[in-house]
């Protein structure tokens, strides 16, 4: 019999020891905060029908999902996302609930990433969804909540970046391009690959003012002044509505005295294409990618037969483990015992744990060097 394979699949990983405690603390803190703001928990199954994620215009690509068959031959998937299951639940079990609906979740999602891309394929998301508040106030609530949550974790060096899908969709409405080309342009803008973007645009038969704007788009980030600079461009009338909306949102954030945590980036174009309005990204110093993502997805919720707007966000708990500093310093009581006294040690351990203490049983060998003891050590 050959050696057992002890390697993990690409994109999988083990979480051990202190990181497990950190992850649990992060989850508890986020969930408690969301509950305090009136967001009620929903738990959905890990397994969903493939059609749930593939039968909408804003579907995931099939190669991005883990797929298999049930015993009746129907295609199942490991959920790649939680927003779509939330929309499904709202359209069924919560369809008669009074609006607005505030729901939250903590769940693992599964996505097939590029081989050797370094991204995990299993991610724990803690998120919130606000259904039925199609106003600036609804967007502001979610943005405020995202800032509040990151602050509650003791994270100080972070930024929430805001964009708007109306900018790129407003431009694309003016162009007769197929979806594959639009997707490529969006990808290059999002990744800020300027040379490739310019080369692609030079091959396309598009108006100069649109081409010039698309080349500028990756550079349009910063504070509210970046919005003022756009009003001078020829293209402004085609994207006026989302620009004015972002300006109103930025002014509201300023009134909340939270502008230090927020910046604008008009070049944010998420790979997940169900967003229709404001887009939210959260970055924390020391983490290489965004730790929070979300936005408004009115068309997606409408595709489930719900005549409501919706906005939400998800926090990648796993990405925060490395930068999160635990505030809890729990003491562990050591119970030192000889082998003949093991039963007594167990009884003593039970007595202490029933009172809320944490214990660690340590057998003391006859040939052991003197074990250091302190006020948290009990010798049996």
Binding residues for L-histidine: 81-83, 111, 129, 274-275
In angstroms, rounded to a whole number, what is the distance separating the alpha carbons of residues 77 and 355? 44
In this structure, are residues 127 and 315 in contact, taking their beta carbons and an 8 Å threshold? yes
In this structure, are residues 114 and 63 in contact, taking their beta carbons and an 8 Å threshold? no
Best CA proximity match to 292, nearest among 29, 117, 30, 110: 30
In angstroms, rounded to a whole number, what is the distance separating the alpha carbons of residues 341 and 327? 36
In angstroms, rounded to a whole number, what is the distance separating the alpha carbons of residues 85 and 101? 15
Q: Measure Cα distances from 205 to 210, 211, 219, 222, 235 in Å.
A: 11, 9, 23, 31, 17
Binding residues: 81-83, 111, 129, 274-275
Burial of 169 (0-12, 13-18, 19+ CB in 10 A): middle
In angstroms, rounded to a whole number, what is the distance separating the alpha carbons of residues 147 and 128? 13
Burial of 294 (0-12, 13-18, 19+ CB in 10 A): buried
- The continuous run of DSSP H or E covering 139 comes out as helix 136-152
In angstroms, rounded to a whole number, what is the distance separating the alpha carbons of residues 246 and 44? 33
Tell me the sheet residues that pair with 362: 336
Q: Measure Cα distances from 209 to 18, 182, 213 in Å.
A: 54, 17, 6
In this structure, are residues 337 and 377 in contact, taking their beta carbons and an 8 Å threshold? no
Q: What six digits make up the tokens of 321?
A: 């483990």
DSSP codes joined into one string, 9-55: PTT-----HHHHHHHHHHHHHHHHHHHHTTPEE----SEEEHHHHHS
């Amino acid at each position: 019999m050959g050696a057992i394979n002890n390697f993990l699949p690409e994109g999988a990983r083990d979480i051990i020891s202190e990181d497990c405690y950190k992850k649990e603390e992060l989850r508890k803190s986020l969930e408690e905060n969301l509950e305090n703001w009136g967001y009620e928990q929903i738990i959905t199954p890990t397994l969903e029908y493939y059609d749930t994620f593939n039968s909408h215009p804003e579907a995931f690509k099939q190669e991005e999902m883990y797929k298999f068959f049930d015993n009746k031959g129907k295609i199942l998937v490991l959920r790649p996302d939680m927003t779509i299951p939330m929309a499904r639940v709202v359209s069924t079990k919560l369809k008669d609930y009074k609006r607005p609906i505030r729901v939250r979740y903590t769940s693992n999602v599964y996505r097939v990433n590029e081989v050797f891309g370094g991204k995990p394929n299993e991610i724990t998301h803690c998120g919130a969804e606000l259904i039925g508040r199609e106003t600036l106030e609804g967007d502001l609530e979610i943005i405020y909540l995202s800032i509040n949550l990151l602050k509650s974790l003791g994270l100080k060096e972070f930024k929430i970046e805001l964009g708007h899908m109306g900018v790129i969709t407003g431009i694309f409405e003016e162009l007769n391009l197929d979806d594959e080309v639009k997707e490529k342009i969006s990808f290059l803008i999002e990744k800020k690959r300027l040379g490739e973007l310019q080369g692609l645009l030079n091959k396309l038969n598009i108006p100069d003012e649109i081409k010039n704007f698309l080349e500028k788009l990756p550079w349009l980030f910063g504070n509210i002044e970046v919005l003022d600079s756009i009003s001078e461009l020829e293209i402004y009338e085609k994207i006026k509505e989302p620009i004015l909306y972002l300006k109103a949102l930025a002014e509201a954030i300023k009134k909340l005295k939270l502008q230090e945590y927020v910046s604008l980036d008009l070049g944010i174009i998420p790979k997940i294409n169900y967003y229709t309005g404001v887009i939210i990204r959260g970055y924390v110093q020391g983490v290489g990618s965004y730790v929070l993502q979300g936005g408004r997805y009115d068309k997606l919720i409408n595709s489930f037969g719900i005549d409501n707007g919706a906005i939400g966000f998800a926090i990648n708990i796993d990405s925060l483990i490395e930068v999160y500093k635990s505030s809890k310093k729990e003491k562990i009581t050591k119970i030192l015992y000889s082998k003949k006294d093991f039963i007594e040690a167990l009884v003593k351990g039970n007595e202490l744990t029933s009172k809320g203490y944490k214990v660690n049983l340590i057998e003391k060998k006859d040939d052991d060097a003197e074990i250091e003891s302190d006020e948290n050590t009990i010798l049996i």
